[in-house]
Chain A
């Protein structure tokens, strides 16, 4: 029977990538605590597991590579000095080479020269470690076997013709509790030739009172008529050679074979690793299809609810009760299905220790990164798309935020600069912060640059916050010298656009000399949204509840038309620009008089704005359908959803809409999307 294991390739690749990431993370942690035995065990295990699975699936390059890697890690683990800086560098190179090998797993031919070179370096490190060990007086703690030796090469094979062989099996007393059964041994033996009965030797059986029922006191002897070699006969007992003494004798003349169990004591690997949970690996498309379907059920359920409510049945009728039970369960179902897609943001943080290490080295800076709240859960899609903006922000903090070491010392700051990444739940969303303890944003410098680039009129009066926000403008960069790292044009505007596309917002808190923190506010998921439904004429719009601050009907004192600046609404003395939704989207029959309509105050990029609407129609959880997938992307519109009455409603992306409106760009007419 040939058993084909190729179906497990995908699973292997995914698992291997995870293990490589764990390996990398462990290595970085070990740089700060080189002798952390828990981490040493964890990285050894990662290499060990990759090797085992790779070999089993016939990925010989990966198996070969991880074998060498495992050998070195094993040596480091059994030593007492932990991991040296030199080893760490070689091992990090190994991580990269391993990634490459996994990526090119399908290409045939020999291992790439670069991977081969890394492998050679690992082997060198391994050889010199072994040499050090031989020189030092410490005995080896791990019993290493020569890896090239096949498992059953220990016995030279002796070819003989048909003969009578006496086989004596003397099990140790723990034979049974090793899960062994003497009958099975003789059954196997009988396949090698003619078995002339089995005789039990009962001489060791103690008095009945002394018998321990789990122990084996009996030995067996049998004579086999066979033509196979001694080696083949011994193979039958390969399993039991530690748990019984086996004699294979020809005409009662061969010497007794007794293999003493060479039990070298070794440090027991019982380190606990936190966070291991039983998991089920499912393709993302399956989960997404499920989420889609649940979304449809939620919509259908709200339609049923609406129909029943308008049927005039009494509130406590059986149908009403059944519908409310259905609603309850549907919401629960939706929450649970959404939870499947939630992953801890730590998965996006994982790459940063390495990044900070490499980057600060290449920029000649001394920086360390700290994390907080890695367990905060976000939708997998959000976490994945956050990876690039976070990378950019961290790069930026090291490159622009942190001062050079000498400068820091001169300012009485610790020589090592600090970068931190934190995440936490707040007000139904997630707040992610990227901070540094560097010199803070230089408003004067930004202003000068912005004026030079025509983003700001000379002498225009703006707040510091508005100046800071300019760094998000396309093409803006204050780096005087274009370093290898930042200042290459892809800048903060891309970060901002990505955050916007995730329905989030980004703001800056900075203090000269103390540092800068970028604060990103995100919804937990993109698939459903807590929304407030607004009525404008016959149309319905939904705004994310996260961005709504308050809502009221302005009095004549609170509403003003300012020449050259449009309309404003005064909220506790602050003037907010007012946007007429009915004008944006050309909706007839809407209330045009602000004093008879409502304003909803929402958060946009550079402060709050007031939206003029007819009415508030309640808040609900809506299933977000992307317009891009069905129509095209429209600035200011995040997506659409189906309301309980079957009508389609557009979901507003407030910052996008405010931007589009400021440019006077024509917004879509609702007819386009309906």
Chain B
């Protein structure tokens, strides 16, 4: 069974680029534009990987990760944050909320796949 990743970012372009990259590594992807929509996706299926932006409208990345960890099926799912170098405080907060690791933008597709290989079985 193909692995499915949930890609959460308020930028459609970023989501598409991340999804495109994950497809190269054999993932199926589901996209969500903010934390709230992402939580709705969690209820529909179990993901093997979650990649999320931190700075999003409606419900930001930290809150989303916190909610995800409350979700039985995703308690142990690897969650990677896509952040920028200016967000270290927030990144820390996200780690405490249960994020697995982070990638620094600008987004580098090869780097993403390298890190994904580290966290996904």
| Interface positions of A (Cβ within 8 A of B) | 1-3, 5, 7-8, 11-12, 15, 42, 44-45, 48-49, 51-57, 63, 70-71, 74, 142-145, 147, 149, 151, 174, 176-181, 184, 188, 214, 238-240, 242-243, 261-266, 268-273, 276, 278-279, 281
Contacts and interface: CB of A to CB of B under 8 A. Distances in A.
Contact of B60 (A42, A49, A54, A270): A270
A243 B121 contact: no
A383 B53 CA distance: 33
Contacts of B33: 276, 278-279
Nearest to A44: B55
9 contacts: A3-B109, A3-B113, A15-B13, A45-B56, A49-B11, A49-B55, A51-B84, A180-B100, A263-B92
Interface of B: 10-14, 16-17, 20-21, 24, 32-34, 37, 53, 55-60, 62-63, 69, 75-79, 82, 84-86, 88-90, 92-93, 95-96, 98-101, 104-110, 113, 115, 118-119, 121
B105 to A, nearest CB: 4
A578 B17 CA distance: 64
Given A242-B95, A272-B58, 20 more contacts: A3-B20, A7-B20, A12-B13, A15-B11, A45-B57, A55-B106, A56-B107, A74-B86, A149-B85, A151-B85, A176-B76, A179-B79, A239-B119, A242-B96, A243-B95, A261-B95, A263-B96, A266-B93, A268-B93, A278-B37
A2 to B, nearest CB: 7
Nearest to A12: B13
Contacts, number: 161
B63 A3 contact: no
A5 B109 contact: yes
A324 B55 CA distance: 52
Nearest to A176: B76
Contact of B90 (A238, A266, A278): A266
A239 B10 contact: no
Contact of B105 (A56, A240, A281): A56
Contact of B119 (A55, A180, A276): A180
B11 A53 contact: yes
Contacts of B107: 52-53, 55-56
B98 to A, nearest CB: 5
B100 A53 contact: no
Contact of B75 (A145, A214, A278): A214
Nearest to A262: B92
B34 A1 contact: no
A424 B37 CA distance: 31
A144 to B, nearest CB: 7
A22 B113 CA distance: 33
Contacts of A143: 88-89
A177 B75 contact: yes
B12 A184 contact: no
Nearest to A143: B89
A99 B6 CA distance: 32
A184 B84 CA distance: 26
A78 to B, nearest CB: 10
B11 A178 contact: no
A269 B98 contact: no
A54 B106 CA distance: 8
Nearest to B113: A1
B59 A270 contact: yes
Contacts of A264: 89, 92
B38 to A, nearest CB: 11
B89 A239 contact: no
A239 B90 contact: no
Contacts of B77: 179
Contacts of A276: 10, 33-34, 57-58
A48 B59 CA distance: 16
Contacts of A57: 13, 17
A606 B60 CA distance: 56
Contact of A5 (B20, B100, B118): B20
Given A3-B24, A174-B98, A11 B16 contact: yes
B43 to A, nearest CB: 15
Given A51-B84, A177-B69, A142 B104 contact: no
Contact of A147 (B58, B69, B85, B119): B85
Contact of A184 (B32, B55, B109, B121): B121
B8 to A, nearest CB: 12
When A and B form their complex, which 10 residue pairs have the shortest distance between CB atoms, in order from nearest?
Answer: A55-B106, A273-B57, A56-B107, A179-B100, A3-B109, A239-B101, A179-B78, A143-B89, A52-B105, A266-B89
Contact of A269 (B86, B90, B110, B113): B90
Nearest to A151: B104
Contact of B86 (A42, A144, A174, A281): A144
A615 B118 CA distance: 78
Most buried by B among A2, A12, A269: A269
Contacts of A49: 10-11, 14, 55
